[in-house]
Structures are given as structure tokens and as C-alpha cells.
Amino acid sequence: MNENERRAVFRQYYKLVYTIVAGRLRSVGRHEDIEECVSDVFAEVFCKLGTYEGELKSCIRMVAQRRAIDRFRQLAARAGRDVPMEEMTEIPSDTTTAEDAERREVQTILLECIRALGEPDTTIILQMYWFGARSPQIAKGLGITPSAVRKRANRALGKLRTMLKSRGIEEGTL
């Protein structure tokens, strides 16, 4: 990606990244902290562009959220204060701690099962359902045809259902 393309990406996604970062850091950071974090997000995105085959907006959003959370923790720790409950990720009032723990456990099992599929199925499933990539994009990255990606995804989903069912997780649980 050349300099002009990077500038175009920056202009197009700056507001999105700034909104995500400022929303997370406004209570613990200064304007300079927010700007630095935004810069870090774009630096990471530009470094990963050659290896990432999914939708660019999804990648940028994910990197911004991760970076903002990391910076939030650093700033809160540096300030030597406990973070008030309202500044943490909000848990909807109808969600209990037990339900939240159960959801995390199900997600952990799901990721274990996806990894157990093996390559390239793991990559196909993650790219398709986590990052929202389409079969031609995935096919290009893996060096196979789009129809092969769709067939492998279909078969992998069948295996995944079986694996999850054997671990006591039904489709409605996800």
C-alpha cells in the first residue's frame, strides 16, 4: 500500500477509530492519550494490511477496540486508581454474572472446536464468520477457488455442529 492509499484509508476511517478510542478513554485519558492511541491503531492496521484478507472496516474496528481497552488499562493503572464500575464495559441489567461466565465458557469451547477443525478450515470459518470475509477474498488468501472455500466451509460447519453437540452445546446456545 502506497502513501496515498494509506492517507485515503486514514481519512475514511479516522472518525470511526476516534469515536471508539475516545469513548473508551475519555474518563481516564487526556486528548493527547486519545490521539496517540488513534495513531497506534492506524500503525497496526497498516502493518497488517498485507496479511489480512477480510473486510477492512471490520479489521480497523477490532484493532481500535483492542488498542483502546489496552490503553484504558494502562492509563488507569498509571493513575493508581481503581476503575469505577460505570467506566468498565457495561453488562446489561438482565444479564447475571453466572450467565456471563457461561457465555464465556461457551465461546471458549467454540474457539477450541474451531481450532480443532485444522487448516484451512479454521481460517475459512474465522474469516467468514468472525471477520465477514466473502469466499473470493478467502480463496485468494488461501490459493484455492471460491467454490472450494464454500464447500470446505459447509463441511466444516457440519463437523463443528457435531463437535459442539458432543460437548453439550446446542445450536440455540450460541
Residue 15's pLDDT band (cuts 50, 70, 90): very high
Task: For residues 1 and 85, state if they share a domain.
Answer: yes
Could you tell me if 83 and 161 lie in one domain?
no
| 96 and 169 part of one domain | yes
- Give the pLDDT band of residue 154 (cuts 50, 70, 90): very high
Same domain flag for 102 and 63 = no
Asked whether the predicted pLDDT for residue 81 surpasses 60, the reply is: no
The pLDDT assigned to 156 comes to 93
The pLDDT of residue 87:
46
Q: Is the pLDDT of residue 94 over 80?
A: no
| pLDDT above 70 for 3 | yes
Verify that 83 and 95 share a domain, yes or no. Answer: no
Residue 69 or 54, more confident? 69
Q: Cβ(132)–Cβ(58) under 8 Å? A: yes
Residues 171 and 106 in one domain: yes
Percent of the chain whose predicted confidence (pLDDT) is above 70: 81
Q: pTM value?
A: 0.47
105: domain CATH number is: 1.10.10.10
Buried b (16+ CB within 10 A) or exposed e, 108-122: ebbeebbeebeebbb
What is the CATH classification number for the domain harbouring 39? Answer: 1.10.1740
Q: Residues 29, 102: one domain? A: no
pLDDT score of 98 = 60
Domain holding 58, by residue range, is 1-89
Query: Read out DSSP for 88-132?
Result: SPP--TT--HHHHHHHHHHHHHHHHHHHHT-TTHHHHHIIIIIS-
Domain match, 118 and 55 both: no
> Same domain for 152 and 126?
yes
* Shared domain check, 17 and 80: yes
pLDDT value of residue 80: 60
Overall domain count for the chain: 2
* Together in a domain, 24 and 85: yes
Among 42, 73, 89, where does a domain finish? 89
**Exposed, middle or buried: residue 164 (CB in 10 Å: 0-12, 13-18, 19+)?**
buried
Note the pLDDT tens digit of each residue in 115-143: 899 999 988 988 887 777 788 988 888 89
Among 89, 124, 140, where does a domain finish? 89
Q: Say how far apart CA 115 and CA 66 lie, in whole Å.
A: 22
